[in-house]
Structure formats: C-alpha cells, structure tokens
Chains A and B, each alone.
Chain A
Amino acid sequence: MLKIVRRILATVFFAGVTLLFLDFTGTLHRGFGWMAKLQFIPAVLAVNVAVVLLLVALTLLFGRIYCSVICPLGVFQDGVSNLSARRKGKKNRFRYSPAMSWLRYGVLALFVVMLVAGVNVAVSLLDPYGVYGRMASNFLSPVYRLANNLLAWFSERVDSYVFYSTDVWIKGWITFGMAVVMFGVVGFLAWRNGRAYCNTVCPVGTMLGFLSRFSLFRMAFDTEKCTRCNACERRCKSSCIDVKTMTIDHSRCVTCFNCIERCKFGAMNYAPVKWGRKRGEKPSSGQTPVSATVNTDSQNTMSRRNALSAITFLAAGTVLKAQEQAVEVRGDGGLAEIMDKKNIARQTPIVPPGSMGARHMKQHCTACQLCVSACPNNILRPSNKLATLMQPEMSYERGYCRPECVECSHVCPTGAIKPISAADKSAIAIGLAVWVSDRCVVNTDGVQCHNCQRHCPTGAITLVDRDPGYSDSLKVPVVDKELCIGCGACENLCPARPYSAIYVEGNVRHHQI
C-alpha cells in the first residue's frame, strides 16, 4: 500500500517537474512551478527558509521521502533500476554493503565548501535537480519539441492554429556533453546498484541521510516474525538492510517501502520509533504482500527511449532551414540569401532581467536549464565559461528579450532570476547597445536604415546626420546610455550580417533607468 502511494506520488512529481522542462508555451509553469521551487538545492540557493525547513521537517518525521518522491533524479534512478530488474533473475539483485561514509561526507563537505566559496560549477554539477534538469532539457525537450512540430505540421495542413512550430536546437554543447556524462554515470550506477549514486555521491542524499537517522518514522525488523530469509535485503536498492545483524542503515534508506512489500511474513514495519526500544511493535500497515507491479514504468521507458531519440536527433542535429538559392541574373522574385547571424563575443555576458547582475546569478544559479527551456525567444543558452559554466546567458542572434515576456524570471526556482513584471523589466538595464560604424549598412551599403531606432522600446536610439552640414546626409544611430535597457531588439533586427552593427554589452550589475 505504502509503496503504491509512494509510486503514485513519485510519478506525479516526476512528470510535473519533467513537463516544466518541456513546456515552451509558459502555461504549465503557472500550475506546476512550485514543484521546482520545492527542490532542495534550489531552495537553499534561493534562501527559501520555509521550503528548507519543510523538507528538513519532512525528513525528520518520515525519512528520506524527498529522495523517493520529490527528487526527479531519484525517481529517474528508480526507473532505470526497475528496468534493470526486469531482466531475468535480476529482480533481487541487491545485497547489503557497508556505507562509504568517507566518500559521502567528503563530497558533502566539498559541496558545502564550494557553495560557500561560490564555485558554482561544482555546486551545479552535484545538485541532483540540476543534473536531472540538464538531462530533461537536453534530451527530452528537443524530442518533445520535434513531436510538437510534427503536430504543428499536421495542424497547418488542416488550417488549424492549435499547434505552432518551435525552433529545436542544442543550446550549448558543453552542457549537452555534461548531461550525457551524468546520464551515463547515474544511469549506469542505477542499472547496477540501484540508489548507489544517492548514497555515495549526492550531497543532498547525504545531508538528508544524516537527518533521516533520527527520523520519527522508520523501517524496523519485527524480530519475532522475521525468518531471516534475506528477501528484503535482496530487494533493497539502497543496500542498507543487513539481515545478518538485523540492522538497517537509516541514513541510506530512502523509504521506498520495497522491503515491506516484499516481506511475506510482515516482519518489516514502518512505524514511529519508540525511544529506548529498538523496534516498532504495531505495524501500521504493510501486511499485504501485494506485488505491486501494476504501476507501469512509462516514465522510465520514456527516458530511455528519449535518450536514444536524442542521439538520433544529434545525428540530424542541423536545423533544417529552407535552402534558398542565389538569385540568377536579375529575375523577379525569389528571396535574397540571408546569412545566419553569429553570436558576438561580449566582454560582459548578458544575464536576464531579474537576476540583478552577473554576481547574483553566479551565486544562486544551479544551472538546471529551466529558464533556458522556457525562453520563448531563443535568447537564453548555457554559458561555456568556466566560472559560470552551464548557467544561463543571453545572446540576440535568434531573437531578442521581448517587452511582454518575463518567463525566465517566473520559472526560476533558485531565485537567481527574481520574479519581475513586464513593467519592471522595461526599466531594468541589463546591458548597453554599442554601435559599430563600419558594419552599419548606412556605411557599407549607402542606404538609409532606421530599424534599430524604430524598434527600440525605450527610445534610447536616435538618428543623427552622418555628415553634418550636408542637407542630404544619411543618418546613423546614436545610443542614449541613460535609456538603453539592453533588450537587444536593435541587435536582433539589425540588417548587418553575420555580425550585427549594433550589439549589446552586458552590465555587470543591472541598474534602473
């Protein structure tokens, strides 16, 4: 019974968090955004005391429910482990092993040091939610979007506007590589040893494990009923039940209830600790030896299949774009070939409005990629710089930070990007437009262009005579630094290619205009 409840809840959470990474329309975040904000490391980074206390209390009461239900990486591992167990004779493949305390606490200590020291690469590499987020956004999201595009294709053919197609691209190869590596490591460990990753590497697991030793409810043997058949130990994916000594390592138990379900004799109980006694007397439940295989592992199969699809996707990775041909001798019609814009090397990276600047972003971001997935304008992508590795930064060659959109600020679970309104955003200067005169089409092509000026939402760009004193002078843009908010409309819509003639340099600290 408990196991079924656990599995249902875990499925709900896993699906919810996963969908957050898939949805690009901004609708799900309103209903399910809290699922990301409930994650442990994001809550710590957001200094969300309430959530941290809630999770601590939850663990002190019921053990590591967090690891079994809330943590998407944990549930992912259960899925992999479950798949592994379906192989013949592998269902009961576990056995007790002593805790690798030096490794666990070593990693935790390192993690805390890194957190305090602000070495965010290490923090985000180890944060289980971040690890899962990178997997979801790099593998699942492209597949989801391709499927959406297929639907959009059909919907276009029946004149329906229900689905619209969306760009699919790998936003950062380093981050993609990291996701592949972690998928391999975590997946391999889960395939072989169940929750080994959670109990040896994961700092959240170690931290909550430390608390769960003292939890009120916990597993306990009923020594009178136990026949020492070893069944529970063989089924324990945390390898924390030692039947020989009749002990359970509560720091590693993730309260999955598999042992209770497995025990035919009702010898395993989940009950409040009677202080001073070693076991609970009255089992609250768990008498029913139901084999709960009803709950299918659609989630797990899905992640595997999607991982495969992601590889296929890689192969076909180049975004298909209508191949336009160069126009032959002065015919009418056709389309001029337009080069793709290239990313401009910026001295200061641009980070989204609401993040208050590079420093705040660096300190609070766990690089989960939720904002990157959510950005409807294809601006956010993970950084490739070591200090801010995998954390989001902006670039405007595919779109610009549109005035009506504050999506990233609302999805961010760690408070790295604080929630803002569209009105707030219109007054936050995240960067400053810089004009490059020798790339400007006014100079290169000798035509009058006013696209940057016309699209500037704050009126920061105006046009002045290039050749003062001549009445027929072409006009070139000038930027009012006091008004520019760095939204990138000018850069994105600039006709100069591949490098825009006006581009945005980030502000180290955002300021109000």
Chain B
Amino acid sequence: MMEKKKSNSDKMGRRSFLKTLGAGSVATTAALSGCKPSGGGGASGGTALAEVPTDKMTYRVSPTTGDRVSLLGYGCMRWPLRQKADGSGEEIDQDAVNELVDYAIAHGVNYFDTAPVYVRGWSETATGIALKRHPRDKFFIATKMSTHRDDPQLRSFEGSRAMYEQSFRNLQVDYIDYYLLHGVGIGGMAPLRERFYDNGMLDFLIKERALGRIRNLGWSFHGEQEVFDFLLAEQDAGHVRWDFAQIQLNYIDWKHASGWNINAEYLLGELEKRDIPAVIMEPLLGGRLSRLGSEALHILQEMRPQDSAASWAFRYAGTPESVLTVLSGMVYMEHLQENVRTYSPLVPVNAEENGALEKVAEIMLNADYVQCTECQYCMPCPYGVDIPGVFGHYNRIISAGKRLKSSNDENYRKARRDFLVGYDRNIPKFRQANHCIGCEICKPHCPQTIDIPNEMRRIDVYTEQLKQGVEFSNEQLAIKR
C-alpha cells in the first residue's frame, strides 16, 4: 500500500507543476503510515520500517583512482523549483536543496552529479551552494562539458574552455572529482570530433587531469555504438585513459534498449573488460520503472511484498560489481530516504529475481509507452510544446491501465474523462501535442532517440479520437504509427 503511494508521489515528483500535489500525496503517505517523524519508522503493509540507516551504505571502490563512492549517487538534474518571491518566474528552491544535500551526506551519499545545462542552467550553482557547507573531502562532484547542442561558438576551444572554467566558479571548488564529456554518441562521430578532437579540447582536459584540477576523466554515453567503440579503442590504443564511463542501465535497457540506445549488457561488458567503472544513469528509465502497471507490479510484490518497484530497479542497477554509483534525481525527501534504504546495504538481485524482472520487462515492452525519460534535453521546444510533460501524461495513463484499446472498452467513459481532464490539468492547452508543428528541431537532442514529432502525432490522434468521441480501435492506430 505504502509502496503504491510512494510510487504515486514519485511520478508526480517529475513534474514541477504538480509539486504541491506531490507534497499533498506525500503528506497522505505520512498520514497513512501513522505520522512518522522525519526519517522515522512507519507502517508498510503492517510492517514497521526501521530508521533510515546512516552507516550502512554500500560503497564501491574505483579501480582507477581508489575513490570510495557511495552506491547511491545524487543526480542534480531535477532540483525542486519554487516561484520567486516577486512572482517574476521560477527559481531553484535552495532551502530544499540544502536540506536534501545535508540529509544525503548524513546518510552516506557522497557522489553528486550535475552539468552546466541542468535545470535550465541553474543546477551547478545551487549544488555548489549546498555542498560548500560541507568539508570538501566529504563529497565527490561530477560535472560535464555540455557542448552537445549544436552551437559552433560553444564548440570552439575558447567557448568550451569558458564553460569548463565557469563550472569551477559555479561549484565554488578548485578541483572537480569527475569530469565528463557530456552525451557523447548523440549524432554519431561527427559531433564527437568537432567537440573534443578538432578543437583540442580533449588534450586540454587530459592536461588538466595531470594538473590535478580533474581527478577522474570520463564521458556519458547515449546513442551510437560507433562512438562508444571508438572511445574504448582510443584507450586500447593508448591514446587516452578513461577513469570511468557513464551509461544508461536498467532492466529494460539490459537486453531491450530502444531506438538507437545500445543494450547495457554490451556496454557494461566492454567496460568490465577494461576495468573501467560504470556510473549508471536512468536506473528508473525516467521514472517509468517506478510506476508499473498492476500486472507487472504483482510479479514483484509476490516475491517481496514490501518493496516498491523503484527499489527493485535500484537494486538491479547496483548489483553488478563494476558499477561505481547509481544516479537518482531525487526531488523529495521520501525518495531520498527510500533510495538510501535500498542501498543500506544493497541486497543484490539474485537469479530468481532476475527472472522476475525479465518478465516485467516483457510486459513493459509490450505496452504502448513512449520511451521518454523526461530528461529535458529536448526542451525548450521553440513552439512551446511541453514535450516531456505530454509524454509523461500519456505514459502515466498507460501505467494506470487507462489507455483505451478501442472505443468499445468497458471503461471507455471513465478512461476518456480521466485522460482528457488530466491532460488539461497537467499541460496548458497551448503546450499540448496538437501544437507540435513537426519541425523536428527537438529530434537530434533526444538521447532515447524518440521520434518526437511522430509520437506527438500519435498522442494527438488518440486525444482527438477521445475528444470527438468517435469509434476507434487499436488496429487503426497501429497503422498510423
């Protein structure tokens, strides 16, 4: 019960605009679990939860630098926002960030992953402010060279170097523990060469590492295998040494990577061959693995009645020994607490459980989900569409079992209303799928290589069918797709 509630609040956590609602539902959770004190025990399915442990965190030691890194890494791409006091827009809720960071460090988390572009470019500064309040040796900080957007000025040596140096100022540090070439693989080899080879940036960064201003040099990878193979071949050839690599890994992507993503089984295998530790991103596939449909959820709950879908996904991602840390963009204290519990200490996924997750993956793959992780790389859409918002709404409808197969479905009336009312609630009308003009500007930015305009059209067609109340069946839709 509580797990369900949690995943419920989790799903809303992705949406800044439903923040209050999320908070409301979190409050409900607290109320349901018997008014637990912060971090205290409560009731879950009648079983009392222990205190969130402060000293049980699982740590992994980097074979390259010997860093002792907490298995739970803090992803700083989803910091909570609030309205500015003067009402002139949004800003990061620094108080909430401080509270989360303090709690995380107190409970053993020591890896913080940010980037110059996260949270509309505000993440580094906010993360820096929060971390500045702790001793420098208590945490590792990771940030990136985010020149994956096609901006020639930024991709020049001067532009890139400016971005690099700005990170030090934003984070208020004089060395960076983990520095990543951000999003290599997106767009294939050409951008990689342009961003890091032709302008001499990679050589510069390697020098910086030698000077101690970068302690670990690595990259985050999305997209084309050619690039992944190339970077490893560079190491094999002795041109460069990678201290770590960041890849997308979860029980779907292990064998069933979508779009141009590469199966994590392959990626991790190649890294293990070279003893390169892996930082894991998207362990929840943008939250989708935390809100399973009931069919899938029951498979897991039969084995571990008290565990949430999210904790399964985290255990899965943390199980391989070559994983250094698993990143989670935690917006709410409750998520942080649950994840700390999951990894304090980690109970590795056994063979039988692996089989169960394989079944869940099959169910997920057969559903109609848009493979969006709500990473926001596509945003802002110049024509105002809230791309992750639209996909998120659609995916939640699927998770809730309310995606109609045809107009003759039994729950047609209710599902129709829930979809349409929920759509208008979540997304302002002028940001809905019908405002996608199909310009395809977003398409190259998507690390999941979703055909965004096409998926928008698919959702728009579905919405129109419901709005007009016309007869339809999934077969027609399949053709449209």
Interfacial residues, chain A to chain B (CB-CB below 8 A): 152, 156-157, 159, 161, 164-165, 321-325, 327-338, 399, 402-404, 441, 445, 447-451, 454-455, 493, 495
A333 to B16 alpha-carbon distance, docked (Å):
11
Q: How far is the CB of B152 from chain A (nearest CB, A)?
A: 13
B55 on the interface (CB 8 Å rule)? Answer: no
A493 touches B434 (CB 8 A): yes
- Total interface residues on B, CB under 8 Å, equals 53
B349 on the interface (CB 8 Å rule)? Answer: no
A335 to B432 alpha-carbon distance, docked (Å):
12
Q: Which of B117, B375, B386 contacts A331 (CB 8 A)?
A: B117
B468 touches A403 (CB 8 A): yes
Stretch at the interface among B101-109, B247-255, B358-366, B419-427: B419-427
Q: How far is the CB of B379 from chain A (nearest CB, A)?
A: 5
Known: A164-B425, A338-B430. A333 touches B438 (CB 8 A): no
Q: How far is the CB of A404 from chain B (nearest CB, A)?
A: 4
A277 to B175 alpha-carbon distance, docked (Å):
112
Q: Which of A322, A329, A336, A403 contacts B383 (CB 8 A)?
A: A336
Interfacial residues, chain B to chain A (CB-CB below 8 A): 17, 20-21, 24-25, 77, 87-90, 116-122, 149, 151, 154, 375-377, 379-384, 386, 414, 417-418, 421-422, 424-425, 428-431, 434-441, 457, 467-469
Q: Which of B25, B120, B154, B430 contacts A333 (CB 8 A)?
A: B120
B457 touches A404 (CB 8 A): no
Q: How far is the CB of A312 from chain B (nearest CB, A)?
A: 20
Q: Which of A165, A325, A336 contacts B382 (CB 8 A)?
A: A336
A161 to B425 alpha-carbon distance, docked (Å):
10
Can you report 14 residue pairs joining A to B where beta carbons are below 8 Å apart? A156-B425, A157-B21, A161-B418, A161-B421, A324-B89, A325-B89, A331-B120, A332-B77, A333-B376, A335-B386, A336-B382, A336-B383, A449-B439, A454-B457
Residues of chain A with a CB closer than 8 A to B149's CB: 330
Q: How far is the CB of B463 from chain A (nearest CB, A)?
A: 12
B380 touches A335 (CB 8 A): yes
Minimum CB distance partner of B380 in chain A: A336
A323 to B430 alpha-carbon distance, docked (Å):
14
Q: How far is the CB of B180 from chain A (nearest CB, A)?
A: 15
A450 to B414 alpha-carbon distance, docked (Å):
32
Residues of chain B with a CB closer than 8 A to A334's CB: 120, 376, 379-380
A328 touches B421 (CB 8 A): no
Residues of chain A with a CB closer than 8 A to B428's CB: 321-322
Q: Which of B88, B386, B467 contacts A404 (CB 8 A)?
A: B467
Q: Which of A321, A331, A332, A495 has the most CB of B within 10 A?
A: A332
Residues of chain B with a CB closer than 8 A to A330's CB: 117, 121, 149, 151, 154
Q: Which of B17, B384, B467 contacts A338 (CB 8 A)?
A: B384
Q: How far is the CB of A46 from chain B (nearest CB, A)?
A: 29
A332 to B116 alpha-carbon distance, docked (Å):
9
B120 touches A327 (CB 8 A): yes
Known: A325-B89, A329-B121, A448-B439. 17 other contacts (CB 8 A): A156-B425, A164-B421, A325-B88, A327-B120, A331-B121, A332-B117, A332-B375, A334-B120, A335-B379, A335-B381, A335-B431, A399-B429, A447-B440, A447-B441, A449-B438, A450-B437, A455-B434
A107 to B20 alpha-carbon distance, docked (Å):
58
A156 to B21 alpha-carbon distance, docked (Å):
8
A152 to B422 alpha-carbon distance, docked (Å):
11
Q: How far is the CB of B467 from chain A (nearest CB, A)?
A: 7
A159 to B469 alpha-carbon distance, docked (Å):
23
B122 touches A328 (CB 8 A): yes
B437 touches A449 (CB 8 A): yes
Q: How far is the CB of A291 from chain B (nearest CB, A)?
A: 49
A331 to B146 alpha-carbon distance, docked (Å):
9
A116 to B151 alpha-carbon distance, docked (Å):
69
A402 to B466 alpha-carbon distance, docked (Å):
13
Residues of chain B with a CB closer than 8 A to A327's CB: 120, 380
Residues of chain B with a CB closer than 8 A to A447's CB: 437, 439-441
Residues of chain B with a CB closer than 8 A to A156's CB: 21, 425
Residues of chain A with a CB closer than 8 A to B89's CB: 323-325
Residues of chain A with a CB closer than 8 A to B87's CB: 323
Residues of chain B with a CB closer than 8 A to A322's CB: 17, 428
A454 to B461 alpha-carbon distance, docked (Å):
10
